[in-house]
Amino acid sequence: MSRAWNFVAGPAGLPECVIQKAQEALWDVGPGAGILEISHRSAFFDRLMYDLDAQFRRIGGIPDDYDVLFLQGGATLQFCQIPAILTRPGDHIDCIHTGFWTRNAMRDAAFYTDVRYAYDGAASGFEHIPEDSEISYSENPRYVYYCANNSFMGTEWQRPPLTRYPLVADMSSNIYSRPIDVRAHSLIFASAQKNLGIAGVCVVIVKHEFLEACQPEPRASMFNYRRLVENRSMLNTPPTFALYVMKLMLDWIDGQGGLAALEVRNREKAAIVRSAIDDTGGFFRHVGEPQCRSLMNISFRTASREMDGLFVAEAENERMLGLRGHRETGGLRASVFNAFPVEGCRVLAEFIREFARVHG
């Protein structure tokens, strides 16, 4: 039986060529052993890490004065690692609060530092991403924190907020879906399982200058980015298979023509689904204001929870998986990360139109 159209919010589907190459690597990746059995201290793996780092930097246009780390613990570990490492006693940070993921991140940050809110999106039901004029920064926060794509609600920043303070971004659900303005940030982090491969790796891109300014005292190794940088992310045993799959994903991204080409493709995919929603004459409505809708997570809903449930059930019968909205928001959500094919968006768009025609 053919594979289903997989709209889950993560871990997300992978390109078929990546799955096939990963399968082949299980048996023998070259030196007579499979990728699951290779030492991270072997020449093979050492080379892989050099290549991964170089390719990741080239694709993302990451300047030389930024370090790249490939860590474990997911984005959620960064929710505490960043404030634990980068703030000092007496500091505070500013958060631009746009939903579930900034809330979770700040809940953890509050164990380490004082959190202030430069903007609170709760009043808009998190359907709005603020203009710069709507954000009120406090006096000298150590950094400003925001989430570039709110996967839970389906809203996305079209460009980073403008601030003179160091900017920290959670890009877990839109990294490498389009070109990134790295220079606007002091630190970017993203777990891999949506756009860059499988669960197990979290990328941290951090400016040297920011690390130097923030980290005065000695720290335990895992809470010391500098030691992790010096050890090229291999202070301890790294998630070898997940790193290998990330390398395959980067090869795939290169094959697609890089981030600019991916952006064109991702815009086309989102437009196919969004225009089908528009065509239903209000039977389905978009979640999120027009200027801040996500390319990665298309959130929409009908007028009732029951109708949403029926849509999910009928879609599953047609082998479309994962269309239920986030557990906190309800509604519907189609996640169409980098690897999701254009054809799958066309199938969903047709299904949306037909569903509205039958049940409208």
- Give the active site residues: 101, 170, 194
Distances (CA, A) of 327 to 8, 95, 128, 147, 273: 13, 23, 20, 19, 22
User: Please, what is the minimum distance in Å from the beta carbon of residue 9 to ligand PLP?
Assistant: 6
Q: What count of residues does the chain have?
A: 360
Contacting ligand PLP (CB under 6 A), which of 85, 106, 144, 147?
147
Q: Are strands 155-156 and 114-120 parallel, antiparallel or unpaired?
A: unpaired
| 98 contributes a contact to ligand PLP by CB under 6 A | no
Cα separation, 75 vs 191, whole angstroms: 5
Given the complex with ligand PLP, which of 128 and 356 has the nearer CB atom? 128
Stretch touching ligand PLP by CB under 6 A, among 69-77, 120-128, 275-283, 300-308: 69-77
Contacts of 15 (CB under 8 A, 6+ apart): 249, 252, 339
Stretch touching ligand PLP by CB under 6 A, among 70-78, 112-120, 275-283, 285-293: 70-78
Stretch touching ligand PLP by CB under 6 A, among 71-79, 160-168, 270-278, 352-360: 71-79
Given the complex with ligand PLP, which of 74 and 83 has the nearer CB atom? 74
Burial pattern 194-233, b for ≥16 Cβ within 10 A else e, equals bbbbbbbbbbbbbbeebbeebbeeeeeebebbeebbeebb
Given the complex with ligand PLP, which of 193 and 240 has the nearer CB atom? 193
| 277 contributes a contact to ligand PLP by CB under 6 A | no
Given the complex with ligand PLP, which of 151 and 302 has the nearer CB atom? 151
Phi, psi of 70 (to 5 degrees): -115, 100
Contacts of 266 (CB under 8 A, 6+ apart): 177, 178, 295, 296, 336, 338
| 112 contributes a contact to ligand PLP by CB under 6 A | no
Contacting ligand PLP (CB under 6 A), which of 151, 155, 163, 299?
151
Q: Are 72 and 95 in contact (CB under 8 A)?
A: no
Using CA atoms in the order 32, 33, 38, 39, what is the torsion angle rounded to 10 degrees? -50
Contacting ligand PLP (CB under 6 A), which of 5, 10, 315, 332?
10
First-residue to last-residue Cα distance in the chain = 32
Question: What is the CA angle 300-302-306, rounded to 5?
Answer: 125
Number of Cβ within 10 Å of residue 332's Cβ equals 25
| 172 contributes a contact to ligand PLP by CB under 6 A | yes
| 170 contributes a contact to ligand PLP by CB under 6 A | yes
How many residues bind ligand PLP (CB under 6 A)? The answer is 11
Binding mask 187-226 for ligand PLP (x = CB under 6 A): ----x-----------------------------------
User: What token pair was written down for 46?
Assistant: 């050492």
Cα separation, 81 vs 83, whole angstroms: 6
Given the complex with ligand PLP, which of 153 and 352 has the nearer CB atom? 153
Stretch touching ligand PLP by CB under 6 A, among 170-178, 218-226, 252-260, 332-340: 170-178
| 72 contributes a contact to ligand PLP by CB under 6 A | no
| 101 contributes a contact to ligand PLP by CB under 6 A | yes
Rule CB under 6 A: which residues touch ligand PLP? Answer: 10, 74-76, 101, 147, 151, 170, 172-173, 191
